[in-house]
Amino acid sequence: MDDTLAKLPRAFSGATVLVLGDVMLDRFVYGAVDRISPEAPVPVITVERETVMLGGAGNVARNVAALGGRAVLVGVVGDDDAGRVLTGLIDREASLDSALIVDARRRTTEKTRYISGSHQMLRADREDRGEADDQALLAAFNAHLREVDVVVLSDYAKGVLTPLVLRAAIAAANAAGKPVIVDPKSRDLSRYDGATLIKPNRREAAEATGVTGAGDEAAAEAADAILATAPNLAAALITRGGAGMTLAVRGEAPVHLPATALEVFDVSGAGDTVAATLALALARGATPLDAARLANLAAGLVVAKLGTDVVTADELVGLAHGEHADPVADKIADLDGALAVVAGWRARGLKVGFTNGCFDLLHPGHVSLLAQARAACDRLIVGLNTDASVQRLKGPTRPVQKESGRATVLASLSAVDLVVLFDEQTPLNLIRAFRPDVLVKGADYTVETVVGSDVVLGYGGKVLLAQLKAGQSTTNLIGRMNAKA
């Protein structure tokens, strides 16, 4: 990849993005379903925990902050508990500034997902789709326009981006010389005319233009149709999932960018990552093509991640230099990094398992235990004793392999999703931090003697005792090796 793309992310830290649009609170309620209600033929979910995240335009702003930029978020919340929770989430982000309008006549848009295991049982929406206070929104927008470098309009059709707000915001940004990126929702893309770049996905482009088909020619035809619909729109970028992206800049031939992901784990949030990357790149003077190329790399990174939906500037720099992500190294994390990954898993309703050990000289018994553990959950964390911890447990001649080698071997197994080293005698602190749904140890333990079993059972989790392979032991293996020597 050329130096231009490698240099761009380093400049993101000096850029500020004004995000205007529909702000939402995403709430996830997790629990167990093990019976049907006697009142009606519906499942009963026993609630175990809840998490909340920024959604809608808020997630675009969070992506800007993760990439190293600063975001100013303009939108509407109600004078309600959900609005206060949402504002609190924004306050926790050092690089995210709130310019939200509190409107007592409206409810904060809130999506609550009820999840059991890895299945979403129900989604309940609280929202008002009526038009928001145009003048208050535009006043907040204009108050911050001078201090920003680029504008993102994030439309979820909840009433914030009315025709009046769109026209006034785009006109004000154009007059101030600020590029405008649009993530559209409406089938009438002419309402975004005057923006710098519009970013529909393949389905949205097909609904707006009537051009269907998954090939490059259909994508190019749809992009050209979008530009014809909005004569003052400078460029259209259609995101096409596994087929990559198609960019049409007015007066130039369409360019097709192939997808860059080596492996896809989770596509959630990829569109918001693309919008944030486009905005920051254009803010730093990139051409639409270079901005699209960088956003394409960012999309490839985010869908290849385990349970997260943001990328960093450092990751983009490495990929732009041709340093492809190492899927094995990406599985090895410190506690803070692992907690961020697990939070993403939780947000998507995935069941998290945990097991631990020294895993010195990996043998078929280890492989069997890990396979059984992974079969009991959607994602498996392995707590790995550090070298110092192994020595305290096994004596001065152990481990045979250093912790870095043991971690690499574990991370290379398909059954293992995350490896976290710990230096204590037991993994109790990790168990308390991760709160796994399933805790797994070998059947040479009892439930009562498994470290952390009381913690996991106390919040409704499960303890699994995996069957052991007879005769498989690292100690016995080392003994046989020494005997032969």
Location of structure tokens 């996905």? 201
Taking alpha carbons only, the member of 383, 393, 395 closest to residue 354 is: 383
Distant-in-sequence, close-in-space partners of 21: CB < 8 Å, separation ≥ 6: 56, 57, 60, 74, 75, 152, 153, 154, 155, 156, 160, 161, 183
- Letter for the amino acid at 15? A
Looking at residue 55, what DSSP letter applies? Answer: E
Around 44, how many Cα atoms within 13 Å sit in the side-chain half-sphere?
A: 8
Residue 24: beta bridge partners? 55
Could you please report the per-residue DSSP string of 187-245? S-GGGGTT-SEE--BHHHHHHHH----SSHHHHHHHHHHHHHHSTT--EEEEE-GGG-E
Q: Which two tokens stand for residue 149?
A: 């470098």
Query: CA of 73: how far to CAs of 332, 421, 431, in Å?
Result: 34, 38, 36
Taking alpha carbons only, the member of 352, 333, 337, 356 closest to residue 425 is: 356
Burial of 322 (C-beta count, 10 Å sphere; 0-12/13-18/19+):
exposed
User: 101-102 and 76-77: which strand pairing?
Assistant: parallel
Evaluate whether 363 touches 472 at the Cβ level (below 8 Å).
yes
Location of structure tokens 């990094």? 337
272 in active site: yes
> Cα-flanking dihedrals φ and ψ of residue 69, to 5°?
-90, 180
User: 438-442 and 352-357: which strand pairing?
Assistant: parallel
Evaluate whether 309 touches 348 at the Cβ level (below 8 Å).
no
Taking alpha carbons only, the member of 199, 192, 342 closest to residue 270 is: 199
Location of structure tokens 């037991």? 426
| Distance separating the N- and C-terminal Cα atoms of the chain | 51
Q: Which two tokens stand for residue 369?
A: 């235990």
- Catalytic residue (one of 272, 309, 378, 417): 272
Taking alpha carbons only, the member of 35, 317, 283, 333 closest to residue 173 is: 283
Q: Which residues are catalytic?
A: 272
